[in-house]
Amino acid sequence: MQHSELYYYALLAVFGVIAYMIVVDKNVATYIILLGKIAKLKVSRFIFWVKFYPRLRFDTFWLKQKSKKVLKQHKEG
């Protein structure tokens, strides 16, 4: 038996057990759906963080510099 065949049999066994548990107990199906929703939420949050975090850091830096400039002008005037 090759390694790939063993891998496919193991996957079949795992999904078979999960399918059996879903048929026997409805709560397992609900739990798996909730796990999928949590995973989707975490992935979308990670994508949002990767896309917008550099921009947020730049905006924060720019706002701090602008605030320092206004404070300096206010102290002089």
**What are the tens digits of pLDDT across the range 65-75?**
989 989 888 88
What is the per-residue pLDDT for 76?
83
Within the chain, which residues score under 70 in pLDDT? 1
Q: What is the pLDDT of residue 57?
A: 79
| Side chain identity at residue 27, one-letter code | N
Q: What is the dihedral of CA 71, 72, 73, 74, to 10 degrees?
A: 50
Q: What is the mean pLDDT of the chain?
A: 90
The pLDDT of residue 33 is 94
Asked if residues 3 and 17 have their Cβ atoms less than 8 Å apart, the reply is no
Which positions ≥6 away from 21 have C-beta within 8 Å?
28
Question: What's the pLDDT at 34?
Answer: 96
In this prediction, residue 1 carries a pLDDT of 64
- With residues binned 3-state (H G I as helix, E B as strand, rest as coil), the percentages for the chain, rounded to 5, are 95, 0, 5
